[in-house]
A and B are shown apart, each in its own frame.
Chain A
Amino acid sequence: MATRQTQSLAKLMRAPAIILLLIWMVVPLAMTLYYSFMNYNLLNPTGTSFAGWFNYQYFYTDPAFWESIWNTLILVLGVLLITVVGGIAIAMLIDKPIFGQGIVRILVISPFFVMPPVAALIWKNMIMHPSYGVFADIAKFFGMQPVDWFAQYPLFSIILIVAWQWLPFATLILLTALQSLDGEQMEAAEMDGAPALQRFIYLTLPHMARAITVVILIQTIFLLGVYAEILVTTNGGPGNASTNLTFLIYRAARLNFDVGGAAAGGIIAVVLANIVAIFLMRAVGKNLD
């Protein structure tokens, strides 16, 4: 059916998108790779020279680097744990026969649409502030000493904010999966006297497995890049206590003007993200067939 004419027309229609994305992917990445082997500081641009592996060496022998890798890991895993477990629980709750399901859905999904700086500042000032926040009000109500969350538990505080932002996403996707669950199968299991926990483990969970995988992989891609939430709350501190890899690279580039070091860090971030990406591509690729 496809004539040669429509074939070449199709090629012409595809070309702009492909060329643009090719440039967007190749040019900056090649530049990053190039800079990662150069001594290049914006404060001293004339002192630019070939650096070999120095930037990489410098980056990964820096204690801040390992701390940031560790923080990145804890941040991603912490948020994943809260959002996946919480998402399953909330999705199952919303899926129950309830009054006002539509409004409940809207309320639960809302945090996802709050831009990161706003989400973080609301939590920082109105919820977790040691003197004026709601948490402090609750603590005072029970006669306890309010906690200075961002000073004492900086990483945990950020995990809490980011988890709040991503819980709706997990819930919504898991709910979509849950609603395609075969009701008759569930009823049959119930009639046969399978207890709720067994029905959950043998019917619900396997049915949601694919959606859970997708949630984990997609969130991981975004969670590796958490930035604004850290910038407006702890600014990576105290010390490096809440600095993730993204924030460390940002600091090297924008605050220390260390182009070479930031580029080397960027390449490391690409490698990390790619490990996750390979798994995601497989999961999505299966769906294309």
Chain B
Amino acid sequence: MARAVSTKTKIGWTIAAWFVALLIFFPILYAIITSFKTENEAIAGFDLIPSFTLDSYREVQSQYNYIRPFMNSVIIAVGSTVLALIVAVPAAWAMAFSPTKRTKDILMWMLSTKMMPAVAVLVPIYLIFLRTGLMDTRTGLVIVLMLMNLPIVVWMLYTYFREIPGEILEAARMDGATLSQEIVHVLTPMAVPGIASTMLLNVILAWNEAFWTIQLTTTNAAPLSAFIASFSSPQGLFWAKLSAASVMAIAPILIMGWFSQKQLVRGLTFGAVK
């Protein structure tokens, strides 16, 4: 807005906004601070200055082999996303560039599968996993999370592809481009940003998934969400170690999330708010 605002008002709003923002961020900040404390400091009452020890980080790795759930998270989140993209890119492409009368219905139906509560199919999925030996395997989780997020991936890609202007294709055709040239030189460069955004959001969703990961794993394939959830009992991690494990679990996704604010709105509202 081009309206002139007095510096005084601006400072007032700034203070209010920063206060609210820090209040909301505080639990994360406090976990970060606590992760640099010793266990004794962690339960010694409110204190924002830790002794900056890295012991908790070291102990989480040495006592609980932290790298295993971390790698499971990476494999499951990236694996399910790549698999979903392989299936969804052609589908969204076809729906965006050669739509039929039923394209809208198909999209709405895909969206409707996302409405199915996970717990409603807990029993069959659990039994299928038990009988097929998929229980506590990364393969099993990759399949379930891929299917779970597939509708969002198709939708997001579709809304991105639809924004690629048709005139560009016509122009390429006029210049005598063949179909394959069209795809490689014209469409792909324009589609890449949309695919990258979709990928980013989907990795975030898969990383943070905490229903199926807890139900379908025990130790071998447990990603971070299931690993951290297993420390809910009092004899689990102590405060500082819990904080260190938590910080390492959320840091990569937090940073990715900061870069994907726009895509987040678009992806999670199925394009209804842009």
Contacts and interface: CB of A to CB of B under 8 A. Distances in A.
A27 interface: yes
Contact of A277 (B21, B22, B24, B115): B115
A25 B120 CA distance: 11
Interface stretch (A59-67, A73-81, A198-206, A266-274): A266-274
B27 A122 contact: yes
B18 A7 contact: no
A276 B115 contact: yes
A176 interface: yes
A266 to B, nearest CB: 4
B147 A246 contact: no
Interface in B200-222: 204, 207-208, 210-211, 214-215
A interface, by DSSP: helix, strand, loop or mixed? helix
Nearest to B214: A228
Contact of A100 (B18, B114, B269, B272): B18
B28 interface: yes
A134 B10 contact: no
Contacts of B235: none
B232 A25 contact: no
Nearest to A229: B210
B137 interface: no
B interface, by DSSP: helix, strand, loop or mixed? helix
Contact of B265 (A94, A118, A176, A245): A176
B272 A214 contact: yes
A284 B21 contact: no
B31 to A, nearest CB: 5
Given A17-B150, A117-B225, A288 B1 contact: no
Contact of B21 (A17, A104, A116, A246): A104
Contacts, number: 299
Contacts of B264: 112, 169, 172
B173 to A, nearest CB: 9
User: Which one of B116, B204, B231, B256 has the highest number of Cβ atoms from chain A below 10 Å of its Cβ?
Assistant: B116
A113 B232 CA distance: 20
Contacts of B91: 13-14, 16-18
A1 B64 CA distance: 61
B122 A253 contact: yes
Interface in B255-274: 256-258, 261, 264-265, 268-274
Nearest to A114: B250
A169 to B, nearest CB: 7
B106 A122 contact: no
A107 B22 contact: yes
B199 interface: no
Contacts of B261: 105, 109, 172
A6 interface: yes
A69 interface: no
B66 interface: no
B19 to A, nearest CB: 10
Which 5 residue pairs are nearest across A and B when measured between Cβ atoms?
Answer: A31-B124, A13-B90, A232-B232, A17-B91, A28-B121
Interface of A: 2, 6-7, 9-11, 13-14, 16-18, 20-21, 24-25, 27-29, 31-32, 35, 90, 93-94, 96-101, 103-119, 121-127, 131-132, 134, 137-138, 164, 167-169, 172-173, 176-177, 183, 187, 210-211, 214, 218, 221, 224-225, 227-228, 231-233, 235, 245-246, 249-250, 253-254, 259, 262-263, 265-267, 269-270, 272-274, 276-277, 280-281, 283-285, 287-288
Given A7-B98, A101-B17, A172-B261, 20 more contacts: A10-B100, A16-B90, A17-B87, A17-B91, A24-B150, A31-B127, A97-B9, A98-B13, A98-B17, A114-B254, A115-B224, A115-B228, A122-B31, A126-B31, A137-B45, A210-B273, A246-B118, A250-B122, A266-B117, A284-B269
